[in-house]
Amino acid sequence: MAARRLSSLLSRSLAASSSSGSASLLSSLGRSSGCGKSIHRFSTAAAEELIIPPVQINYTQNLINGQFVDAVSGKTFPTYDPRTGEVIAHVAEGDAEDINLAVAAARKAFDEGPWPRMTAYERSRILLRFADLVEKHNDELAALETWNNGKPYEQAAKSELPLLIRLFHYYAGWADKIHGLTVPADGDYHVQTLHEPIGVAGQIIPWNFPLVMFAWKVGPALACGNTIVLKTAEQTPLTALFVAKLFHEAGLPPGVLNIVSGYGPTAGAALASHMDVDKLAFTGSTDTGKIVLELAARSNLKPVTLELGGKSPFIVCEDADVDKAVELAHFALFFNQGQCCCAGSRTYVHERVHDEFIEKAKARAVRRVVGDPFKKGVEQGPQIDSEQFEKVLRYIRSGIKSNATLECGGDRFGSKGYFIQPTVFSNVQDDMLIAQDEIFGPVQSIFKFKDLDEVIRRANATRYGLAAGVFTKNLDTANTLTRALRAGTVWVNCFDVFDAAIPFGGYKMSGIGREKGIYSLNNYLQVKAVITPLKKAAWL
């Protein structure tokens, strides 16, 4: 209750004049507020006593060949608490030399080690044991994730850690069911396909869901019998080291999973261009994805999976359940501080329900509870770092400048850390920058549309194609939109439904390939066709 009160929202107009907050604000206040009119008071999360994370940072070195080691250069880099911008640990800074060591370890573990040679069932048991260990350390890991990333602790503990556990259960189940085919060839031949592990996988993961992204990458790669060099995001190096330690406790042989912390242009680039890495999987921005693909092309033509940016439409049709659509559109955008590649960042609302929708969407955003992510009931923590924080604020200014209507929010929240007010723009036009670029922050843009063909055209008029939301009760509308939208995921009357079994990935410049589900296995398998003549075949 206190948390809710303390973290109430403030509007742009008062942000500058408010100093530290009295803790008197009611969550209902926002409901009557028009932008810049009503009285907003707030208390910054930073002004409050921040909760001390109930976890210690034990692992800061690179994990190579089963050992925690310093960077070859001896260098470290600071990692921060985004609530305050303060340093919480110094982490070994891997660069090309460390990547070389990690790749050599992974290479050896693949070429000579037990991992690809043990039975798939034994591999599955190790994955299951790992999942059990993570479950045991659930709260600790969630605390570390929140501390380093700023996401609500409840979200990390009750939704993301269980997702990771579920994913490893899921891929453990695949390990012993990876089937090749016997193939009917034209002629007297016996033909089979062997689905072999692809080798050493290089994986580069982002900071927005450090553990979930770890799971998406590592789960299928290990289930298929590969070895891995994983580079974490420089903003969030901590939890991957912790879980990788647990993996070794679960019986993972040394060298199978190597973790290097470091920056993209050094460590990341070295991994992407390494001649002994057989496969690369990257999740991050479209710009970086291009570089990764180029490095792979220039080096050894390693196949690349890319899961990149998005500007996903969320389409509310005239027959939609408006209240539900408002809530889900809000969730689709603001979830994880808006730092989701599949955020529903273009909300298209049919003109007949548009005004009602705006009112309710604004009211919902104003009610959003921002504050210390460790506090119960807090829905939104800080953005990840000052760079993202500044970038989001720049986009907000751009939206205002281009004459979109600022319904609420529009500025930083509080005076310390990287908190941003939940921000809603209406009257957004397709050609505005906020309609085109991935903002990656708590900024909702609402558009108006008249008919289905129009919204299909507009929704598809983007270089991205990661996901889409469709809100309608009409079966035919749902089917038409589902097929017409050029996006890798379409959520109909729901959003952000993630499950280990559901493939995820982008059309167009949102990426290449699919992760999760049975589809992700293909990323980590080579197909070998084996052909031999048949003598006197009983049948063909």
Partner 1 sequence: MGSHGNDNLESSVKIPTIKFTKLFVNGEFVDSISGFNLSLSLCDRSISMFLLVCHVDKEDVDLAVNAARHAFDDGPWPRMPGSERAKRMMKFADLIDQNVEELAALDTLDAGKLFSMGKAVDIPSSADTLRYYAGAADKIHGDVLKMSREFHAYTLHEPIGVVGHIIPWNFPTTLFFLKVSPALAAGCTMIVKPAEQTPLSALYYAHLAKLAGIPDGVLNVVTGFGPTAGAAICSHMDIDAVSFTGSTEVGRIVMKAAAESNLKVVSLELGGKSPLIIFDDADVDMAAQLALIGILYNKGEICVASSRVYVQEGIYDKLVKKLVEMAKAWVVGDPFDPKVQQGPQVDKEQFDKILTYIEHGKREGATLLTGGKPLALGGKGYYVEPTIFAEVKEDMLIAKDEIFGPVLALAKFKTIDEAIKRANSTRYGLAAGIVTKDLDVANTVSRSLRAGTIWINCYFAFGNDCPFGGYKMSGFGKDSGLEALHKYLQVKSVVTPLYNSPWL
Residue 479 binds to partner 1 (criterion: CB under 8 A): yes
Helix segments in 348-406, DSSP class H: 351-367, 386-401
Task: Give CA–CA dist 404/30, Å, rounded.
Answer: 20
Task: Give CA–CA dist 534/210, Å, rounded.
Answer: 51
Q: Which of 174, 209, 242, 524 binds partner 1 (CB under 8 A)?
A: 174
DSSP state of 460: H
* Minimum gap (Å) between residue 132 Cβ and partner 1: 10
Check if the beta carbon of residue 36 is closer than 8 Å to that of residue 410: no
Scanning 162-170, 463-471, 490-498, 505-513 for contacts with partner 1 by CB under 8 A, the matching segment is 162-170
Lookup: tokens for 296: 């792979």
* Minimum gap (Å) between residue 460 Cβ and partner 1: 10
Question: Which 114-133 positions form the footprint of partner 1 (CB under 8 A)?
Answer: 121, 124, 128
* Minimum gap (Å) between residue 479 Cβ and partner 1: 6
Task: Give CA–CA dist 229/148, Å, rounded.
Answer: 22
* Minimum gap (Å) between residue 452 Cβ and partner 1: 8
Q: Provide the mask over 489-508, with x wherever binding to partner 1 is found by CB under 8 A and - wherever it is not.
A: -----------xx-------
Task: Give CA–CA dist 467/477, Å, rounded.
Answer: 17
Task: Give CA–CA dist 94/267, Å, rounded.
Answer: 6
The 3-class SS string of 7-58 reads CCCCCHHHHCCCCCCCCCCCCCHHHHCCCCCCCCCCCCCCCCCCCCCCCCCC
Q: Which of 76, 84, 436, 480 binds partner 1 (CB under 8 A)?
A: 480
Question: Which 452-471 positions form the footprint of partner 1 (CB under 8 A)?
Answer: 453
3-state class of 425 per DSSP? Answer: strand
DSSP state of 248: H
Q: Provide the mask over 313-332, with x wherever binding to partner 1 is found by CB under 8 A and - wherever it is not.
A: --------------------
- The whole-angstrom distance between residue 260's C-alpha and the CA centroid of its chain comes to 19
Q: Which of 16, 184, 497, 539 binds partner 1 (CB under 8 A)?
A: 539
| Active-site annotation holder among 48, 140, 234, 307 | 307
Check if the beta carbon of residue 182 is closer than 8 Å to that of residue 524: no
Task: Give CA–CA dist 222/252, Å, rounded.
Answer: 10
Task: Give CA–CA dist 93/98, Å, rounded.
Answer: 9
Size of the site for partner 1 (CB under 8 A): 32
**Spatial CA neighbour of 444 closest among 534, 371, 347, 509:** 347
- Provide φ and ψ at 305, rounded to 5°: -105, 130
- The whole-angstrom distance between residue 361's C-alpha and the CA centroid of its chain comes to 24
- Whichever of 56 and 179 has its CB closer to partner 1, that residue is 179
Residue 172 binds to partner 1 (criterion: CB under 8 A): yes
* Active site (annotated) includes residue 112: no
Scanning 52-60, 136-144, 166-174, 384-392 for contacts with partner 1 by CB under 8 A, the matching segment is 166-174
Scanning 146-154, 172-180, 276-284, 364-372 for contacts with partner 1 by CB under 8 A, the matching segment is 172-180
Q: Which of 181, 185, 194, 537 binds partner 1 (CB under 8 A)?
A: 537
Q: Provide the mask over 180-219, with x wherever binding to partner 1 is found by CB under 8 A and - wherever it is not.
A: ----------x-----------------------------
Task: Give CA–CA dist 127/406, Å, rounded.
Answer: 48
- Whichever of 162 and 254 has its CB closer to partner 1, that residue is 162
- Whichever of 216 and 413 has its CB closer to partner 1, that residue is 216
Q: Which of 173, 180, 254, 303 binds partner 1 (CB under 8 A)?
A: 173
Residue 535 binds to partner 1 (criterion: CB under 8 A): yes
Residue 162 binds to partner 1 (criterion: CB under 8 A): no
* Paired strand residues for 279: 201
Q: Which residues bind to partner 1, rule: CB under 8 A?
A: 121, 124, 128, 166, 169-170, 172-177, 179, 190, 453, 475-476, 479-480, 483-484, 500-501, 518, 532-539
Mind telling me the catalytic residues? 307
